[in-house]
């Protein structure tokens, strides 16, 4: 029912299948294999009691009672024990580990982000710090700690947002009383215009020429000319999503699938994508499901590999290697198509596009500076307001020139307000 797994560095954990069908883990830390096996035996006894609705044996009960609070809290976090009511509260490290264990439906990237904020929180406050003693002042200390650690402003904001999420859950569970200490702190990621970069087609071609194989050329092209998010949308793309006949691609979007109607989007089969897709298709194994097959291992760092390819191409790497490609494509498309259409293809909102994606490029400045100059006389003539009829009559009176019509005629301006002779004065039609 349970098994021992190794996390490396002498650290062990117990894996078991919970009653809800999900696999759960209890981290033991650095223990010997014998200690881990003994712990596993007790866990199996507890699980057996839960399955049969019977009380655990006396020996297991005494073992549970003798457990340190931190280890007992880990059993409680996975539903194998009732939480202890102790004056010591809950240690920060144990609480975050329990929170992470409960995220059974979260994506791997989300879990990595939570582990990152755990490292910073524990580094600031300590593993055993009672979460109830962390208030608004300590939250500010946490921010200062990250600033001293030379984290970027947007990274700091993301960690603050995740810390707020952790304490919000603690409040819901009754493990923390009072207001969330991270409420009111800036957690919204700001656009960093200094890190925007437009990758021209000439530069993109140099990088494509330096790619080691067709699959890498496709990876690059899907971001630069398709606007896909890397790596999540690249790895989710299947051959069944490519509609060569109708010139469309269905793009599954793991990042937005939790939102209604946002599990996927459709983009045109842009001309720049046709050859890379056809080349990759001819090289694919018979019956292959996914478009990208060679680089799906999570241990592979696509950013590092792309950086090497860029250096090989003799090009200076841009600040955000994959995001800048996607941003470049949205900027490029916005020059030709309505923004609501482009946002539908790229998979973001107008607000996000304006804040984080659309760029002002050198080409915009060049186009504006090369426009033909408009003479001052033309400009004045185009912007001088039209004179009224009274102004026209005043000009005629003062410039000494008479009207260019018979002297017995009246200027047309005098006709305003005059009435047509009523019907009956003369016959409407001849008899």
Q: Mind listing the pLDDT tens digit for each residue in 320-351?
A: 999 999 999 999 999 999 999 999 999 998 88
Q: What is the C-alpha to C-alpha distance for residues 214 and 217, in angstroms, rounded to an integer?
A: 5
What pLDDT sits at residue 310? 97
| Percentage of the chain exceeding pLDDT 70 | 84
| pLDDT exceeds cutoff 60 at 305 | yes
Between 379 and 317, residue with greater pLDDT: 317
What pLDDT sits at residue 325? 96
What is the pTM assigned to this prediction? 0.58
Q: What is the C-alpha to C-alpha distance for residues 209 and 172, in angstroms, rounded to an integer?
A: 55
Provide DSSP, 69-132. Answer: HHHHHHHHHTTSSPPP--TT--BHHHHHHHHHHH-TTS-HHHHHHHHHHHHHHHHHH-TT-BGG
Which domains are seen in the chain, by residue range?
A: 1-86 (no CATH), 88-190 (1.10.150.130), 195-365 (1.10.443.10)
Q: Long-range contacts for 197-200 (Cβ within 8 Å, ≥24 apart)?
A: 197/318, 197/319, 197/320, 197/324, 197/328, 197/359, 198/324, 198/327, 198/328, 198/331, 198/359, 198/361, 198/362, 199/224, 199/318, 199/324, 199/325, 199/328
Q: Mind listing the pLDDT tens digit for each residue in 122-157?
A: 999 998 899 999 999 999 999 999 999 999 898 999
| pLDDT exceeds cutoff 60 at 183 | yes
- The residue assigned the tokens 């969330």 is 180
Q: What is the C-alpha to C-alpha distance for residues 44 and 14, in angstroms, rounded to an integer?
A: 10
* Consecutive H or E run containing 66: helix 58-66
The CA radius of gyration of the chain, in Å to the nearest whole number, is 35
| Percentage of the chain exceeding pLDDT 90 | 47
What pLDDT sits at residue 398? 45
pLDDT-derived band at 422, boundaries 50, 70, 90: low
pLDDT-derived band at 255, boundaries 50, 70, 90: confident
């Amino acid at each position: 029912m349970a098994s021992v797994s190794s996390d490396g560095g002498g650290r062990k954990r117990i894996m078991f299948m919970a009653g809800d069908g999900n696999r759960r883990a209890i981290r033991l830390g650095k223990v010997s294999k014998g200690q881990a096996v003994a712990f596993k035996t007790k866990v199996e006894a507890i699980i057996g009691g839960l399955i049969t609705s019977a009380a655990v044996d006396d020996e297991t009960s005494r073992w549970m009672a003798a457990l340190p609070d931190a280890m007992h809290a880990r059993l409680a976090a996975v539903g194998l024990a009732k939480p202890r009511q102790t004056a010591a509260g809950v240690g920060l490290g144990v609480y975050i580990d329990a929170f992470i264990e409960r995220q059974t439906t979260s994506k791997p990237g989300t879990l990595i982000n939570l582990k990152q904020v755990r490292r910073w929180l524990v580094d600031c406050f300590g593993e055993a710090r009672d979460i109830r003693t962390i208030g608004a002042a300590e939250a500010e200390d946490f921010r200062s700690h990250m600033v001293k650690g030379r984290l970027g402003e947007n990274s700091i904001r993301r960690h603050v947002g995740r810390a707020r999420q952790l304490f919000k859950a603690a409040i819901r569970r009754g493990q923390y009383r009072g207001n969330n200490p991270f409420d009111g702190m800036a957690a919204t990621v700001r656009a960093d215009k200094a890190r925007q970069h437009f990758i021209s087609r000439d530069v993109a071609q140099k990088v494509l020429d330096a790619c080691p194989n067709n699959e890498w050329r496709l990876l690059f092209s899907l971001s630069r000319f398709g606007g896909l998010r890397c790596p999540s949308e690249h790895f989710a793309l299947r051959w069944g999503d490519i509609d060569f006949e109708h010139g469309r691609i269905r793009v599954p979007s793991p990042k937005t699938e939790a939102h209604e109607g946002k599990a996927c989007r459709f983009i045109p089969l842009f001309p720049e994508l046709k050859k890379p897709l056809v080349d990759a298709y001819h090289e694919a194994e018979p019956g292959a499901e996914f478009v990208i097959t060679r680089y799906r291992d999570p241990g592979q760092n696509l950013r590092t590999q792309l950086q090497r390819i860029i250096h090989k191409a003799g090009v200076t790497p841009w600040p955000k290697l994959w995001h800048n490609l996607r941003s470049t494509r949205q900027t490029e498309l916005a020059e030709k198509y309505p923004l609501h259409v482009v946002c539908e293809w790229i998979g973001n909102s107008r607000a996000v596009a304006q804040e984080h994606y659309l760029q002002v490029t050198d080409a915009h400045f060049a186009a504006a500076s090369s426009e033909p100059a408009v003479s001052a006389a033309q400009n004045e003539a185009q912007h001088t307001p039209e004179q009224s009829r009274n102004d026209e009559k005043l000009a005629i009176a003062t410039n000494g020139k008479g009207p260019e019509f018979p002297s017995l005629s009246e200027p047309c301006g005098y006709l305003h307000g005059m009435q047509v002779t009523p019907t009956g004065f003369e016959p409407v039609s001849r008899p």
